Structure 1
């Protein structure tokens, strides 16, 4: 038990230092490959983990249902590509009712729509699936229970606060959440629990009543549920090729657009606003009183790094998907672009490091606690007590520095300048990579 405890501590320490997801950090610590060839099986469901909530959820459901491509599983990286690949998005919200400033980042195609990527992915692949939206709480609970009783896992969108296991503070009630897979139920009455896969590696259960409440909380996707009904089928080779190409073309089209909120110009805009004291949305103006600045910087680290709740920038995952797409399309020139995207992933890590410099003790501790919560979620129910304790300390620490970050004015200016420089370089690198990818896709001789 002591050895296991020390191992978990080392894994979480690595997550805090590198921003890696739990499975990747653990693989480095124990000296094994990142993929686990023998995942834990709970109620017949294989817990394979994952990075991108959407693509991982669908990949795990398809694997469970025996839906494959002509040459094997439809993997998370490949499904990321089919769904439109990467995106770009930056918005800084200001709310007068509580004087809060909230940073929102988007890293996937159609990130601003909760269902767009998954709907597009199953449609492009021709996979038989059913969407449902049940307005009433009782009807929604019955629909979920019926699906689970029939042995059908479903993808659903619960509010993270009410889901419980992230241990978020009350002011994030109704903030929404990413998709998770509900795959089994146990117990009855008030003690009923639902088994949930949130890219976890061990069984994670939540009270059925909590999940019902979480699913109903956000009006825009109240009680949404996706059930894949296809079973034991193979996506034809021509259909898969068309889906992969359509996904890559959609990514090039989206990222190459002119929107300063939903395309690559978003990064350029953000880079400028980080250091522009004259712009109304410039960080020197918005955070002139220093209130909420630590929350914003922490949101950048959590949003960018794979160790966060939503899987991070996903550039390295896309590189894996691009290699797999190259095999599907028989286009080795596409695979040759993967190192370029891995280099971009390194640039994003550098940005996250700049946002939360761990040479500051309080910030280093904040990163450690954030990683501890995420790591304990991956550990399922076994990590419940540890993540609750870590979350309590984390939010106490964040509240302590809510009015001002543990950085003096000179260091704040240096942090913002450093972040701005990294973002400008990222924008240039991604623009060049997208242009290159678009040229390859448009080459009539290839």
Structure 2
């Protein structure tokens, strides 16, 4: 008989190998029948998991509040579509004060704005929702405590370092974070849903400090007031159409940082030795290169903290949008985006190849941390131990990745090739999607 510990180990090993999220990897390991149980329920809140932090948070709040569409739940994939769907973004930051070189990738519409997608989604659906931006920490703490005491879940934005359960190193203090749902408070701890499948709690003081850390969204809080509401069919149809059109407009833009040309630009910079921002130039001394490659894997794969490239989730949203809009052509487009998702997986595999033992260990440790977060408080000890080893290994190889110069050049060239193919495939997919919507 497989023990719970053995099952977790197998799930995390699959996450490291495939880049899948915990729930997906677990379903493959357990089998199609699963364990026969529904979602865990904690303090009246069902822990349903999810992929994209924004849309998973909202989908779980709406399910809790009994807000549905005319034909059933407003799912995470459909909410992703309503909020504007996909985006594209690439920036390579260089910081003189610590010689930092950080790769930032964006995969959703308006990814550079913390609140825009959620605000747009609730507005398009016509939901009653309130935002709070309390400047003072004490006032923000009281507002959250009062909201939870009233039985209302709140979407909040804590800094990951101060939230604590990701066990990040001090140099990531103030690095920001994604939205989570606070849904209860007891014993000096707040119950937090970060796409988790079991109860996860954070000390009140830590969460208050985490919410106040990042200036651009200090103490932000979104509370959906709608309850027992059915979004009318015409409203949902209009919301889905607006979201799809926003995807086409956004991805079809000309920005080389915030639209599809970003992938083409990144593809070129990976191999351009003459460009100031070319990877051969920026990483000529090898410093920071492993961090950059690891950040590509973590950002692209769903096994990372942010849910990955989301092309598969968008494909699921397109399939559901086909029914809402009575447009069967969207089903074929969904399949094309699933094929694009496989291209992104190939890019991530190239960036952080697991045939190198040390790199394979990095992937295993990253999956262990992410998987143990999904397991809630029960995984606290394992993720703390894994995170300690993870960041120690990354520090040991910060100045020189465990790959020789020829292998690194080959990796960059192959990544460039993959990105070129991704760019062309996404441009074609956006063009086809725009054509379908033209007559809607």
Q: 1:401 to 1:34 in 2, by over 3 A?
A: farther
Contact between 1:267 and 1:423, CA under 8 Å: does it hold in 2?
yes
Counterpart for residue 403 of structure 1:
399
Query: Aligned to 1:210, which of 191, 206, 212?
Result: 206
Counterpart for residue 130 of structure 2:
130
CA RMSD across the alignment: 1.1
Alignment of 1:45-84 (within 5 A): 45-84=45-84
Alignment of 1:176-195 (within 5 A): 176-187=176-187, 192-195=188-191
Query: Aligned to 1:439, which of 428, 435, 438?
Result: 435
CA distance in 2, matches of 1:289, 1:214: 35
Query: Aligned to 1:352, which of 348, 354, 366?
Result: 348
Counterpart for residue 263 of structure 1:
259
Query: Are 1:222 and 2:229 an aligned pair?
Result: no
Q: Deviations over 1:373-405 (max 9, x none)?
A: 000000000000000000000000000000010
CA distance in 2, matches of 1:50, 1:441: 28
Counterpart for residue 165 of structure 1:
165
1:23 deviation in Å? 0.1
Counterpart for residue 234 of structure 1:
230
CA distance in 1, matches of 2:353, 2:73: 40
Secondary structure in 2 matching 1:297: helix
Contact between 1:23 and 1:34, CA under 8 Å: does it hold in 2?
no
Q: 1:319 to 1:428 in 2, by over 3 A?
A: same
Q: Deviations over 1:398-445 (max 9, x none)?
A: 000000100000000000001000000000000000000001100x3x
CA distance in 2, matches of 1:268, 1:304: 16
Query: Aligned to 1:429, which of 415, 420, 425?
Result: 425
Query: Aligned to 1:200, which of 174, 196, 219?
Result: 196
Q: Deviations over 1:241-286 (max 9, x none)?
A: 0000000000000000000000000000000000000000000000
CA distance in 2, matches of 1:173, 1:37: 38
Contact between 1:137 and 1:216, CA under 8 Å: does it hold in 2?
yes
Q: Deviations over 1:327-352 (max 9, x none)?
A: 00111111121110000000000000
CA distance in 2, matches of 1:37, 1:117: 32
Alignment of 1:133-148 (within 5 A): 133-148=133-148
Secondary structure in 1 matching 2:221: strand
Contact between 1:90 and 1:106, CA under 8 Å: does it hold in 2?
yes
Counterpart for residue 289 of structure 1:
285
Q: Deviations over 1:287-327 (max 9, x none)?
A: 00000000000000000000000000000000000000110
Contact between 1:36 and 1:48, CA under 8 Å: does it hold in 2?
no
Provide the TM-score with structure 1 as the length reference: 0.98
Provide the TM-score with structure 2 as the length reference: 0.99
Secondary structure in 2 matching 1:113: coil
Secondary structure in 1 matching 2:63: helix
Query: Aligned to 1:324, which of 295, 320, 323?
Result: 320
Counterpart for residue 364 of structure 2:
368
Secondary structure in 2 matching 1:336: helix
Q: Report runs of 4+ in structure 1 exceeding 4 Å deviation.
A: 33-37
CA distance in 2, matches of 1:33, 1:261: 43
Query: Are 1:174 and 2:170 an aligned pair?
Result: no
1:144 deviation in Å? 0.2
Contact between 1:66 and 1:231, CA under 8 Å: does it hold in 2?
yes
Query: Are 1:307 and 2:303 an aligned pair?
Result: yes
CA distance in 1, matches of 2:408, 2:45: 47
1:147 deviation in Å? 0.3
CA distance in 2, matches of 1:150, 1:300: 41
CA distance in 2, matches of 1:132, 1:2: 47
